[in-house]
Structure 1
Amino acid sequence: MTGRPLELTLDAVRYEVDGHTLLHGIDLTARPGETVGVVGPNGSGKTTLLRCVYGALRPVWGSIRFDGTDAGSLAVKERARRVAVVPQDASGTFGLTVREVVAMGRSPHKRFWEQDGPDDALRVASALEAVGAGAFAARPFDELSGGERQRALVARALVQEPGLLALDEPTNHLDIRYQLEVLGLVRRLPATALLVLHDLNLAASFCDRLYVLAAGRVVAAGTPGEVLTEELLGEVYGVRAHVRDHPITGAPNIVYVP
Structure 2
Amino acid sequence: MTARRPAALAVEALRYEVDGHTLLHGVDLAARPGETVGVVGPNGSGKTTLLRCVHGALRPTAGRVLLDGLDAGELGVKERARVVAVVPQDADGTFGLTVHEVVAMGRSPHKRFWEQDGPGDRRLVAEALETVGMAAFAARAFGELSGGERQRVLVARALVQEPGLLALDEPTNHLDIRYQLEVLALVRGLAATGLLVLHDLNLAAFFCDRLYVLSGGTVVAAGPPAEVLTPELLKEVYGVRAEVAPHPTTGVPNIVYLP
Q: 1: CA distance between counterparts of 2:185 and 2:91?
A: 22
Q: Give SS of 1:52's match.
A: helix
- 1:191 alignment counterpart: 192
Q: 1: CA distance between counterparts of 2:143 and 2:101?
A: 12
- 1:99 alignment counterpart: 100
Cα shift at 1:137: 1.2
Q: Which amino acid aligns with 1:44?
A: S
Give TM-score, length-normalised by structure 2.
Answer: 0.99
Cα shift at 1:2: 1.4
Give the % identical residues: 79
Q: 2: CA distance between counterparts of 1:128 and 1:4?
A: 22
Q: 2: CA distance between counterparts of 1:143 and 1:91?
A: 15
Q: Which amino acid aligns with 2:135?
A: G
Q: Which amino acid aligns with 2:71?
A: D
- 1:161 alignment counterpart: 162
Q: 2: CA distance between counterparts of 1:123 and 1:60?
A: 37
Cα shift at 1:82: 0.3
Moved over 3 A (4+): none
Q: 1: CA distance between counterparts of 2:4 and 2:20?
A: 38
Q: Which amino acid aligns with 2:94?
A: T
Cα shift at 1:19: 1.2
- CA-to-partner distance for each residue in 1:181-238, whole Å, 9 max, x for gaps? 0000000000000000000000000000000000000000000000000000000000
Q: 2: CA distance between counterparts of 1:226 and 1:215?
A: 21
Total equivalences in the alignment: 258
Q: Which amino acid aligns with 2:56?
A: G
Matched, 1:182 2:183: yes
Cα shift at 1:74: 0.3
Matched, 1:82 2:77: no
Aligned residue runs from structure 1 range 1-258, under 5 A: 1-258=2-259
Q: 2: CA distance between counterparts of 1:8 and 1:172?
A: 25
Give TM-score, length-normalised by structure 1.
Answer: 0.99
Unaligned runs of 5+ in 1: none
- CA-to-partner distance for each residue in 1:152-184, whole Å, 9 max, x for gaps? 000000000010000000000000000000000
Q: Give SS of 1:22's match.
A: strand
Q: 1: CA distance between counterparts of 2:138 and 2:215?
A: 39
Cα shift at 1:107: 0.3
Q: 1: CA distance between counterparts of 2:9 and 2:228?
A: 21
Q: 2: CA distance between counterparts of 1:253 and 1:37?
A: 16
Cα shift at 1:35: 0.2
Q: Which amino acid aligns with 2:40?
A: V
Q: Which amino acid aligns with 2:118?
A: G
Q: Give SS of 1:5's match.
A: coil
Q: 2: CA distance between counterparts of 1:171 and 1:49?
A: 18
Cα shift at 1:3: 1.1
Q: 2: CA distance between counterparts of 1:74 and 1:107?
A: 16
Q: 2: CA distance between counterparts of 1:57 and 1:152?
A: 24
Q: 1: CA distance between counterparts of 2:198 and 2:23?
A: 18
Cα shift at 1:63: 1.0
Cα shift at 1:27: 0.3
Q: Which amino acid aligns with 1:79?
A: R
The alignment's C-alpha RMSD in Å is 0.4
Q: Give SS of 1:43's match.
A: coil
Q: 2: CA distance between counterparts of 1:98 and 1:246?
A: 38
